Structure 1
């Protein structure tokens, strides 16, 4: 699945327009606890979260993730978006809940991988 396909599936808004939306992703995780992401996530390319602070980008960067999806209509500030752009991470926002967003991506073939 590509980042473009994630955008379409989640009816999301791309907040980093210069992002490479043709990048392939094969796994995802959903969490509002960055400590859990650091402790348990392995090789997930997409992070779905409702947590809206710069730590999300730092965590995604440390875990080599290429995309962050903010759920429940969360809109990150310019500092967070700038940080993501510097690290080459695509950022999008969807009005869907985390449960629904994860379910739709799973239905389209995106998996959680081995954690």
Structure 2
């Protein structure tokens, strides 16, 4: 379920090949005095009964690769990418992408600062 600033994904019943999980992704645009516009993500959830919580910030020019970052975080906590926490329900991620693009006033074709890629872990 998506609403501006929040995405919730869950599979509450473990099935063969699909673990039980519930993940909430909250995000907001912040302005850092040194770095400029950043998007702060707060991810909390549970995978197979094991809770986790993480936060990460991405520069406005690298934020559009947020699904990669979220997938790595989910995988680190036991949700393998093949289970589709990110890629299933692609429509919700498209909505999230458009919401973030609108908030940071992103324009297709903008240059990316390669130092930001390194700082943001890509």
TM-score interval, smaller chain: under 0.3
Q: TM-score, normalised by structure 2?
A: 0.26
Pick the structure with more helix per residue. Answer: 1
Larger Rg: 2
Q: TM-score, normalised by structure 1?
A: 0.26
